[in-house]
Structure 1
Amino acid sequence: MPLDLPFQTAKQLAAAVRKRKIGCLELLDLYLKRVETYNPELNAVIATDIEGARKRAKAADRAVKAGKKLGPLHGVPMTIKESFDVAGFPTTWGDPAFKDTVAETNALVVERMLAAGVTLFGKTNVPLNLADWQSYNAIYGQTNNPWDLSRTPGGSSGGSGAALAAGLTGIEAGSDIGASIRNPAHYCGVWGHKPTWGVVCP
C-alpha cells in the first residue's frame, strides 16, 4: 500500500477502487485508523457513524465485484462540514442552543455526493454559527492546525481543512461566503475551491 495513499486526490482514490487496487472497506478502514490515531490532538472530526459507513463500504465492494456501473467517487471515504444536514448526525453550527439537534434528512449536497458513490463517515468542526476564521465552539471544542497544534486551521470550514491536510478523509465539502473554504485551505496547505456564483446548482 503506497505511503501517500491517504493524501491522494479523490479522483486517484476512486481510480484505485475501480481498478481493484484497493477495496472500499480497506480504504475506509485506513482513514478510520488515521482518525483514531491523529484526531485526538486535532479535533477535526467531531461526529462519526463507523458502523453505518462500514456497511456502505461493504455494499460498495459488492458493487465493484459485480461489475455494476460505479459513480465517479465510488468508495471514496468522506467527511463533511458539521453545518450540512446528514440524516442521523447532529447539525448544530456549533451553537449550544442546538446541541441536541439531529438531522432527519440529508442536505442536497449530501445526496449528490452519496449518489456519486462516496462513503460518508463523519462530520468536521466549525466555529459558532460559522462566523469566524478559527474553529472553536462550546459543543465540540477547538480544532488545531495539523502543521502546528498551537495554531488555528482557520474557519469556518476549519475542521474540513485540518482533516484533509492530516489525511483523515478522502474528500470534504465545506461552505464559503467570505472565504470559509479558501481561508482554511490556505492555513492548512490544501486545495479548496469556492465555485463561481450560479455555476454549481444549489
Structure 2
Amino acid sequence: MVTESGGFDYPRASKVHRPSDDEDIAFMSVIELGELIRTKKVTSRELTDIFLRRLKRYSPVLQSVITFTEDLAYKQAKEADDLLEQGKYLGPLHGIPYGLKDIIAVPHYKTTWGSRTFKNQVLDMEAYVYKRLKSAGAVLVAKLVTGSPAYDDIWFGGRTRNPWNIEEFSNGSSAGPAASTAAGMVPFAIGSETVGSITYPAARCGVAALRPTFGTVAWTDVMSISESLVFSWKLFVNIVRLVLIS
C-alpha cells in the first residue's frame, strides 16, 4: 500500500524473538528477519554469515549458485549495520541477504546468462533492480543459476535440482532463485520471466512468487529474450505480504 507521502506501508511483525538455532533463522520470513535487524536482535553481518554458509553447503547438491558475491555482501552488511547504529533504518529489506538471477548485471561480478559461451563475462553495468535493492539496504550474497541462455534449468555447470526431491529438477530459467529460496539459502531472490520462468520453478519448488505487471520494474541491464515480455520478480519463503520495490 502506498502512503500519502509516497512511501510504502508494509506490515510489521511484533514480538519476534531470535531463535537459538541458525536453521530456524534461515526459514524466517523477510518481515520477521527485518524486525530482528530493526530491534538489533541480529546483525546483517550475522545473517550474511548464516546464508553464505547455507549457500556453500547446499549449492553443490542443488547446483543453484553461479557466483558468490561474498566480499560485496560483507561490505553491504557492514554498511547496513553502521547505518542502524547511527539510527537510520531504511525499511523492511535493510540488511536482508538475497540472491539475483545471473542475467542481472552487477559491476565487477560475472553475468554469465547461464551460458558456457559467456561464463567469464563481466559487464560494467548496474541493473536498475539491483540499484533499487541496494538503496533499500538489501545485501547481495550470490548470483543464482539461470538456464542457458535464460531458458529452462540447464546451465553450463549442470542442472538445478528441486530441494524437496533432488532426483527432480527446478524447471524454468529462474531455477536458481526458486531452489535457493525454497531451501532457506536466501530469504528472497530476484528472477525474471518471459514465458513460464516464474511460474514453473515457483510451483515445482513450493515458493510464492510475485510476477508484477509489465513495466512496473525496469529491466535495464538485464538480459532479455523478448523486450515486450520480460518481468522482474521476487521469491519469498513464509511471506506475510509481498512488498514490491519499484
Moved segments of 4+, more than 6 Å: none
Once structures 1 and 2 are overlaid, which stretch shifts more, 144-153 or 60-69?
Answer: 60-69
Look up the equivalent residue of 2:154 and give its one-letter code: Y
* Selected match of 1:127 from 108, 123, 147: 147
CA distance in 2: counterparts of 1:33 and 1:178, whole angstroms: 33
Question: Whose strand fraction is larger, Structure 1's or Structure 2's?
Answer: 2
Look up the equivalent residue of 2:74 and give its one-letter code: R
With the length of structure 2 as denominator, give the TM-score of the two structures.
Answer: 0.76
Tell me the equivalent position of 1:91.
111
CA distance in 2: counterparts of 1:11 and 1:45, whole angstroms: 24
Verify: 1:26 aligned to 2:43, yes or no. Answer: no
RMSD: 1.5
* Selected match of 1:47 from 58, 63, 67: 67
* Selected match of 1:137 from 155, 159, 162: 155
Is residue 76–residue 137 contact of structure 2 (8 Å, CA) maintained in 1? Answer: no
Once structures 1 and 2 are overlaid, which stretch shifts more, 5-14 or 161-170?
Answer: 5-14
Tell me the equivalent position of 1:68.
88
Verify: 1:151 aligned to 2:151, yes or no. Answer: no
Following superposition, the deviation at residue 72 of structure 1 comes to: 3.1
Tell me the equivalent position of 2:100.
80
**Compared CA separation, residues 200 and 59, structure 1 to 2 (3 A):** closer
CA distance in 2: counterparts of 1:49 and 1:93, whole angstroms: 16
CA distance in 2: counterparts of 1:128 and 1:52, whole angstroms: 25
Is residue 94–residue 127 contact of structure 1 (8 Å, CA) maintained in 2? Answer: yes
Look up the equivalent residue of 2:118 and give its one-letter code: F
With the length of structure 1 as denominator, give the TM-score of the two structures.
Answer: 0.92
Verify: 1:186 aligned to 2:203, yes or no. Answer: yes
Following superposition, the deviation at residue 201 of structure 1 comes to: 4.8
Look up the equivalent residue of 1:142 and give its one-letter code: R
Per-residue Cα deviation, 1:33-62 (whole angstroms, up to 9, x for no partner): 111221211111120121221122122111
**Compared CA separation, residues 31 and 112, structure 1 to 2 (3 A):** same
Following superposition, the deviation at residue 148 of structure 1 comes to: 0.9
Q: How many residues align?
A: 199
CA distance in 1: counterparts of 2:97 and 2:131, whole angstroms: 15
Is residue 71–residue 115 contact of structure 1 (8 Å, CA) maintained in 2? Answer: no
Per-residue Cα deviation, 1:103-161 (whole angstroms, up to 9, x for no partner): 212100000111111011111111111122xx1122x2221111111111111100010
Is residue 182–residue 193 contact of structure 1 (8 Å, CA) maintained in 2? Answer: no
* Selected match of 2:137 from 117, 134, 147: 117
- Aligned with 2:202: secondary structure? helix
Is residue 105–residue 125 contact of structure 2 (8 Å, CA) maintained in 1? Answer: yes
CA distance in 1: counterparts of 2:49 and 2:89, whole angstroms: 23
Tell me the equivalent position of 2:227.
none
Look up the equivalent residue of 2:119 and give its one-letter code: K
